[in-house]
Amino acid sequence: MFSSTASRRLLAVAAAAAVLGCGGSATDTGAFGGPSGITGSYAGTLSTAGLCGSGNLAATLFQNGTSVSGLWTTTGFSTTPPCDLNRGGILTGVVFAQSVTLTLVKDGAAFTLNGTTGGGFINGSFTQTFSTGAGVSTEGAFSLARQ
């Protein structure tokens, strides 16, 4: 039989192999291959599927584990209702592998962005809703590039 020291070493090696075999680690590298994942400054476009056209989207993202927080702004849209999409505020979200969901909130309006990450980009679709019923909901596509 094994000595108690040999048994402890064997148990330690087995535990380490089990942890490594799970594919996770304490220093998960995130979607872009670094410990900060998608943390960074981004700029791109937000294009509506309807009459409101396209505008600019900028965001600063901070990733901590699978949670994302930060700030955002949209500019360049028509200011004629219902197209006044020029806003800015805080964002929250989650990231899992290459999938990202972000919620951008300001003054009763929320944009929900669902996208994928890769090569320094986040691309996908969005919907905008209003909690007050004061606006017309819209949807479209977005594209962000890490700056």
The answer as to whether 3 is a domain residue is no
Task: For residue 102, give its domain range.
Answer: 27-146
Is residue 89 included in any domain, yes or no? yes
State pLDDT tens for residues 95-141. 999 999 999 987 777 889 999 999 999 999 998 876 655 556 778 99
Please report whether residue 18 resides in a domain.
Answer: no
Whether 21 is covered by a domain: the verdict is no
- Asked whether residue 7 is assigned to any structural domain, the reply reads no
Helices (H) and strands (E) in the chain, counts: 1, 8
Residue 144's pLDDT is: 97
Place of tokens 């929320």: 110
Task: Tell me the whole-structure pTM to 2 decimals.
Answer: 0.72
In a domain, 71, yes or no: yes
Whole-number Å distance between alpha carbons of 140 and 5: 63
CATH of the domain at 48: 2.40.128.120
Domain assignment of residue 35, yes or no = yes
Question: What is the pLDDT confidence band of residue 14, given thresholds at 50, 70 and 90?
Answer: very low
Inside any domain, residue 17: no
For 118-142, the three-class secondary structure string (H helix, E strand, C coil) is ECCEEEEEEEEEECCCCCCCEEEEE
Number of domains in the chain: 1
Pick the closest to residue 80 from 38, 51, 108, 107 (CA basis).
51
pLDDT band per the 50, 70, 90 thresholds, residue 145: very high
